[in-house]
Amino acid sequence: MKLEGKVALITGAGSGLGRQSSQLFTAEGAKVAVVDIDGDRAEQTVKLVEQQGGEAIAITADVSKKDQITAAVDQTVAEFGKLDIAWANAGVVSRGGVPTVAGGEQVNFEDLTEEDWNNVLGVNLSGVIFTAQAAVPHLKRNGGGTIIATSSAASFLAYHQIALYSATKAGVNGLVRGLSLDLGPFGIRVNGLAPTHGMSPNFLMPAGSPVVGQSYEEVSGPWDPFVSPIPLKLNRPPSLVDNAKIALFLASDDAAYMSGQVISSGDGGTMSRVGMWFPEDLEQKNPNA
């Protein structure tokens, strides 16, 4: 088991990647604190973990509030005796984000409010900072540990209507690099993953929506790799677990000498593209047809 004897805290673990990773981490031997702003979702994740024989606790916390995530970290240590892995995974998209995917209303950049900015900044960047600040004293006490932050492909490439979101995720990348330098002397590794494909539709759904438990690609209908724009052609769609396994790698001793890195997880070659489309990209053919 890759995480035998480890204690992990995962924010945003009530659904999507966080829920999938809670199940994966516990299957690999870790005890997990499932942190989410929606307490019912966190409890549901714990039930799934327990059904597979794992050990987890549910904690309700808003990561944009420093006192709440600090209390969540302290509760984790009080329950399990230590903290080895802190994963700041919680995130929200800016209002009006990716409207063509979500079926929502487009919001012009100039119409976004100060409240809109403070909301996405508070969760996506301040939440990562607060989670790390709360975890570091415990990781130092251990003589080392791991911090993981969930970034996004939108920190590297432009997506329509989510400039505020992209700005916060680019900030996460800079934070990962800076903290890796500052915390390295204490044996603390800091890395990030930037998912592209294989993410949950819950991310764009209203709060309180039923947890889907599958990726966008898995729920969009029969999979045809030669219709998908993903360059890598496989006989199954990308899934939540494809991203979760990258997080597992970063959390484990397999990545013992990795720090300051942000990996484009679940990418399938998408990030290899240049800044324009060529005819062969637009007219992809099945080589086996």
Pairing of strands 55-60, 31-36: parallel
Return the pLDDT at 100. Answer: 47
Return the pLDDT at 40. Answer: 96
Cα(180)–Cα(212) distance, rounded to whole angstroms?
A: 34
Return the pLDDT at 39. Answer: 97
DSSP state, residue 191: E
Q: Which residues of the chain have pLDDT under 70?
A: 98-104, 275-289
CA 116 to chain centre: 21
CA 37 to chain centre: 15
Neighbours of 271 (CB within 10 A): 13
Q: Which residues are catalytic?
A: 165
Tokens 């993953």 correspond to 193
Considering only CA atoms, which of 287, 272, 269, 245 is closest in space to residue 2?
Answer: 245
- Tell me: the pLDDT tens digits for 236-255? 999 999 999 999 999 999 99
Residues 6+ apart with CB under 8 A from 189: 144, 145, 146, 147, 180, 183, 250, 255, 256, 258, 259
Please, what is the average pLDDT of the chain? Answer: 92
In angstroms, the Cα distances linking 263 to 127, 165, 184, 249 are 20, 18, 19, 11
Reading the block at residue 233, the tokens are 């052609």
Could you give the percent of the chain with pLDDT greater than 90? 76
- Tell me: the pLDDT tens digits for 141-192? 999 999 999 999 999 998 888 999 999 999 999 999 999 999 999 999 999 9
Residues 6+ apart with CB under 8 A from 51: none
Name the maximum alpha-carbon separation found in the chain: 59
Burial class of residue 66 in the structure, from the number of CB atoms within 10 Å of its CB (0-12 exposed, 13-18 middle, 19+ buried): middle
Q: What string of DSSP letters covers 36-95? A: ESSHHHHHHHHHHHHHTT-EEEEEE--TTSHHHHHHHHHHHHHHHS---EEEE----PPT
Strand order in the sheet with 55-60: 55-60, 31-36, 7-11, 85-88, 145-150, 188-193, 262-263
Reading the block at residue 120, the tokens are 């996405």
Return the pLDDT at 286. Answer: 67
